Chain A
């Protein structure tokens, strides 16, 4: 019997696992995929929102500003890329300028520090590539950018280091209520008995909730599609650029990423299938045309990747956070700004449980610091020293991003064993660059096979089933079938 079972390992489940690992409690995380952070957490804008967007009084408003305040310190402790870039919301007409004042007022109510309306000139002085049609902007100094899956991985690795257990390929398909505990069953027949359940199953949180009770809320996904540009376009803007919503919708975001790329998107399209992350030519064309209105010189030739993510909004129109039954706690419908809010939500959980009569005790010893060797980011002398100490840091596997064998081995040895090329990519950046893994794929397959003992023929690109290879070639001893 464990104390907590967290269902789902996106940013929310991972942040909760990290928070709970500070307490004397047995914690298990169940995740249905072969790795963590494969839901909304891996396909979003990666922005730490300052907090002027959510309606005052909502849960989204309550957790946004504190989340944004916590992230810089957490990123430093966990060695996660984060940059406090600030953001600008642009107006393109007098009416939209009024919209900025409404946002300013809302932001002030939500407690967002440092908000300021800027003139057209001041705006373009900050971001000279913006269209000359800009009439004014709202500047928010506390907004920033983060790599969302990196943050989730850092939370989970730190949680594991502090005693949390993670079960992968563990889709929860049944929940039974016993006298004083719950019994969770996974699709592959494993069982976990637990005093408390925390449902952080993202787009599927409505279904997980329904396994334990009747349907309390339902989630309809809204898809958003993106372009990701090569680093050569990374300095197009220094800050996160938003637009005031107009009759066509919210307008797209143009933002630098922490890795020096440029991200452009998303649009918004309600979809039926909770796994439908396909991109569509017409949708991408729309994103492109909206973005060109904001920055006419955007170099779409430098696009290296398109992708789509699913926002999991509940029909309650707000985050769903709280007990649905004694011991069963939902953290569901975590739409944007969920990435920003996650640490603040997690931080609140022990208090919520204490208030419900389940107090938790802090551990006397908790290891909260995480350090990662990243060869390309080290100053010359430290590079030299790192390679002297471990020559594998001098063996570059991913040429586009300068990622060494040593870094890939480290990633395999931090508590979770990645089983796919994309698992390595998310942990190290290898394969993220211009060639998108064309050069380093084979090298990474060899390292992964060596570290995990998995037959290279079974190594996947990404989720289970995304096999890379169909077999061996004839010359390598394969047969026709």
Chain B
């Protein structure tokens, strides 16, 4: 078995940023393993604009954004194996992988960073009854077929779920000459970014049917018809409200889940809400020496934050490898309550309080009038953040300032939101 200092799994924006950060800090032997034949992960199929506004101060396409990092990575002293799939990571950081060039290998690493991204929920996970014809696919799969392989996936299309990929594909397919008859959303609000609703649906007169769902898919060989019904407050279809649409394609944009198989195999504790590992503010997981970042931790809507998270993971892995191991210290929990769906990190190191802490959260329901987010220490409010509008589709980032945090001696923090 070979040995190395740091193995990074995934060369998407999270993994690339982690590798560059660790290298810049002076970590010696870094190995990046990526199962695709290219760098950049999901970015390669996102040929639309809208990447990098925060990070580079300009609007790039996905591939352009990826290239800024991959060019740098290619010239850095980092080993990258493409077409190489990691099969497992053990709790003591033995990484098992295979590839046509590398063959079957096991490498023992002093630290590991999981940057494996996310995957899409499928039809089975939402159990739509009916026949099982061709023409039912996830929006991300459609995006790959259309943008990477040049296939038209259908002519008359209905989209279930108003996640960002579904919205972006509604526009993309319209531009390809297909007719998108509607985007159907179960909830009374969209889970996509407001800018995507405007630019992808409104600008193309594609109707968004809120509080509706697809109750049946029909078609012998290829999709022929779907039934759409309105739903009540409990999200149950309302009998009598059915409408039928003749379409040949159903795109599903019903949610993304962190790719967490490797984490599970390593015995890492997962957050049941995010679906990703529970992490500290240093992106440490519950297993010593294993870090995680990017969509593997929580599904991000902005790549800029993914890169920042990747860098943070790389920095802290470097700390672990290059410095005296940090003294054992207690982790302070940070818990989402009330209308907050989740918060990341879920844990804060005592010693991090002096530096100030970036946190990410999502709300459970839209607060159109905005809201006040309150951070409590052992139940006592210590910080308030006012936001003009809050939406489940838009991740919020807060910085807990070091001036306040360094004063804290609490055993736990919690976070909540109220309408003003």
The CA-CA distance from A394 to B83 in the complex, in Å, is 9
CB interface residues, A 431-465, toward B, < 8 Å = 434-439, 441-442, 445, 456-457, 460-465
| A305 lies within 8 A of B124 (CB) | yes
A residues less than 8 Å from B140 (CB atoms): 438
Decide yes or no: A442 and B101 within 8 Å by CB, A303-B127, A436-B123, A436-B124 being known contacts.
no
- B97 CB → nearest A CB, Å: 9
B120 within 8 A of A: yes
Range of interface residues on A (Cβ < 8 Å): 35 or more
A475 within 8 A of B: yes
| A466 lies within 8 A of B145 (CB) | no
23 pairs of residues in contact across A and B, judged by CB atoms under 8 Å: A275-B220, A281-B215, A306-B129, A380-B106, A383-B104, A387-B103, A399-B35, A402-B87, A434-B122, A435-B138, A438-B120, A441-B145, A442-B144, A442-B148, A456-B151, A461-B133, A465-B221, A466-B221, A468-B153, A469-B151, A469-B152, A473-B152, A481-B177
| A394 lies within 8 A of B98 (CB) | yes
- B187 CB → nearest A CB, Å: 18
B110 within 8 A of A: no
A residues less than 8 Å from B215 (CB atoms): 281
A391 within 8 A of B: yes
| B151 lies within 8 A of A473 (CB) | yes
| A384 lies within 8 A of B104 (CB) | yes
| A462 lies within 8 A of B134 (CB) | yes
A residues less than 8 Å from B148 (CB atoms): 442
- B86 CB → nearest A CB, Å: 10
What 10 A-B pairs have minimum CB-CB distances, sorted nearest first?
A: A476-B150, A465-B221, A461-B134, A438-B141, A391-B100, A466-B134, A384-B104, A304-B124, A305-B124, A466-B221
Chain A, Cβ-Cβ closest to B172: A473
| B120 lies within 8 A of A470 (CB) | no
A478 within 8 A of B: yes
A278 within 8 A of B: yes
Chain A, Cβ-Cβ closest to B145: A442
The CA-CA distance from A481 to B152 in the complex, in Å, is 11
- Taking each of A275, A280, A307, A476, which has the highest tally of chain B beta carbons within 10 Å of its own beta carbon? A476
A residues less than 8 Å from B145 (CB atoms): 441-442, 469
Q: A474: which of B141, B154, B176 is its contact (CB, 8 Å)?
A: B176
- A228 CB → nearest B CB, Å: 7
| A471 lies within 8 A of B152 (CB) | yes
The CA-CA distance from A405 to B35 in the complex, in Å, is 13
B residues less than 8 Å from A480 (CB atoms): 177
Decide yes or no: A280 and B146 within 8 Å by CB, A466-B134, A474-B176 being known contacts.
no
Q: B220: which of A375, A435, A445, A465 is its contact (CB, 8 Å)?
A: A465
- B365 CB → nearest A CB, Å: 21
- Taking each of B99, B127, B248, B264, which has the highest tally of chain A beta carbons within 10 Å of its own beta carbon? B127
The CA-CA distance from A412 to B283 in the complex, in Å, is 45
